[in-house]
Amino acid sequence: MNKHLKSAIAGVALALLAGAAFAADLAPLNSDTEKDRIDWSQLEAKFGAFPKLPEGTKAGGVSKTLTNEYWRSLGQGYEKFGKKVGATVAYQAAQSEGDQLGQLTIAEGMVTTGYNVLLVSPQTDANLQPVMEQAKEAKIPVVNVNDAVIPQAEHYVGNVQKDNGVRVAKWFIQNHPEGGKVAIIEGQAGVFAAVQRTAGFKSTIGEDKKFQVVASVPGNWDRQQSYDAATNILQQHPDLVGFYCNNDGMALGVVEAVKSAGLLGKVAVFGTDGISDAYKSIAAGELTGTVDSFAEMTGEVAMETALRLVAGQKLPRVVATPQALITKDNISKYSGDGVDIRAVLMKDAASAQ
């Protein structure tokens, strides 16, 4: 057995032990359905103006990777809010979205180096569970921020993952009343966000019997792998009406496959996350749309949540963040010079209540 396999097995064993240690204290978290929740737009209304922080407050952010724009933008949100309220913010990430042990090492280091709160975006639902136990012993609050979900997380900030897929399925039902064949490019197998996004799309599109999901295959958050998968699907189903992809990087790979097959304009492609390249592709008439989860805004909300905890406030277990389906029809509402995205999203939140 090689050393990497031994390390992986050891990590899983630690995660299971950590989960068992928490089991008596907290029910496993489903961030989409947890009843102890609040919408991000209601934080100040319910808990008052941002409180005074202890002198020298330090917050540590642990991300999946910095190779994906979504996670870079999330970190920018952390830093923006930290600067606003006078907290020191450090943001570190694993080398890739598959470097589970590297991410664990970073998080464990932050527990022991004087941070007052940690914000973690796990590679999988299990790989950072050991840190939860270590942080609890050190009396350091931890906020799980998108998109994998640690079952025993005490606090979670992120959007309703299932709703990403629901929104795209509703677009297909509305815009293709005749139905047709659709395919899904999934994220990393077993990760909460990928499972929920896929389930939301499948369950909603399945309500219209005129649609058929002809393929649902993993792209593992990888653009090239998703291009290859989409190429194979299009060869088998040239009459496909569209793809739903669990993130934008994969969706942009699928767009290239659609273009190579000469089907641009005939096969719709949707992504998830709302990265800038997705917006550019929508504006160029290539990507059909994305479900934007507003990464920088999510980072701001997560840091506000984390620092309210440091100040001693008792908050709901889940703080739900905004999302919107972006297409060529509404892209100008959410992007461009002079757009105050916080004001736009606050207005969206008010109209949804």
pLDDT tens for each residue of 32-75: 999 999 999 999 999 999 999 999 999 999 999 999 999 999 99
Other Cβ atoms closer than 10 A to 82? 24
pLDDT average, residue stretch 214-224? 97
Residue 291 half-sphere exposure toward CB, CA atoms < 13 A = 24
Tokens encoding 301:
């909300």
Q: Are 326 and 320 in contact (CB under 8 A)?
A: no
Banded pLDDT at 26 (limits 50, 70, 90): confident
Q: What is the CATH number of the domain that holds 138?
A: 3.40.50.2300
Q: Are 130 and 14 in contact (CB under 8 A)?
A: yes
Are 32 and 118 in a shared domain? yes
Are 7 and 153 in a shared domain? yes
Are 184 and 147 in a shared domain? no
Q: Are 28 and 151 in contact (CB under 8 A)?
A: yes
Q: Are 299 and 75 in contact (CB under 8 A)?
A: yes
Q: Are 244 and 196 in contact (CB under 8 A)?
A: no
Q: Are 208 and 173 in contact (CB under 8 A)?
A: yes
Does any domain span residue 331?
A: no
Q: What is the percent of the chain where pLDDT is above 70?
A: 93
Q: What is the percent of the chain where pLDDT is above 90?
A: 91
Helix, strand, coil shares of the chain as percentages rounded to 5? Answer: 45, 20, 35
Q: Specify burial of residue 55 (Cβ count, 10 A radius: 0-12, 13-18, 19+).
A: exposed
Task: Tell whether the model's pLDDT for residue 3 goes beyond 60.
Answer: no
Q: Read off the amino acid at residue 244.
A: Y
Q: Are 293 and 316 in contact (CB under 8 A)?
A: no
Task: Tell whether the model's pLDDT for residue 9 goes beyond 80.
Answer: no
Are 36 and 171 in a shared domain? no
Residues written for the chain: 353
Average pLDDT, the chain: 93
Does any domain span residue 57?
A: yes
pLDDT tens for each residue of 301-352: 999 999 999 999 999 999 999 999 999 999 999 999 999 999 999 999 999 8
Are 148 and 278 in a shared domain? no
pLDDT score, position 55: 96
Q: Are 60 and 90 in contact (CB under 8 A)?
A: yes
Does any domain span residue 329?
A: no
Tokens encoding 84:
């606003």
Task: Tell whether the model's pLDDT for residue 78 goes beyond 60.
Answer: yes
Does any domain span residue 335?
A: no
Single out the residue of 225, 149, 246 nearest to residue 191, CA to CA.
149
Task: Tell whether the model's pLDDT for residue 227 goes beyond 90.
Answer: yes
Q: Rg of the Cα trace of the chain?
A: 20
pLDDT tens for each residue of 235-254: 999 999 999 999 999 999 99
Are 217 and 303 in a shared domain? no
Are 174 and 274 in a shared domain? yes
Range(s) of the domain holding residue 50: 3-157+295-321
Task: Tell whether the model's pLDDT for residue 279 goes beyond 60.
Answer: yes
pLDDT tens for each residue of 139-178: 999 999 998 999 999 999 999 999 999 999 999 999 999 9
> 3-class SS at 34?
coil
Structurally, the chain folds into a number of domains equal to: 2
Does any domain span residue 214?
A: yes
Are 75 and 195 in a shared domain? no
Are 151 and 179 in a shared domain? no
Q: 138 or 16: which carries more pLDDT confidence?
A: 138
Which secondary structure element, helix H or strand E, spans residue 236, and what is its range?
Answer: helix 223-236
Are 51 and 92 in a shared domain? yes
Task: Tell whether the model's pLDDT for residue 195 goes beyond 60.
Answer: yes
pLDDT score, position 1: 45
**243 CB contacts (<8 Å, ≥6 apart)?**
182, 183, 184, 185, 230, 233, 251, 254, 258, 267, 268, 269, 270
Are 169 and 268 in a shared domain? yes
Does any domain span residue 313?
A: yes
Are 139 and 238 in a shared domain? no
Secondary structure letter of residue 40 according to DSSP:
G
pLDDT average, residue stretch 288-313? 98
Cis peptide bond prior to 147, omega within 30° of 0 = yes
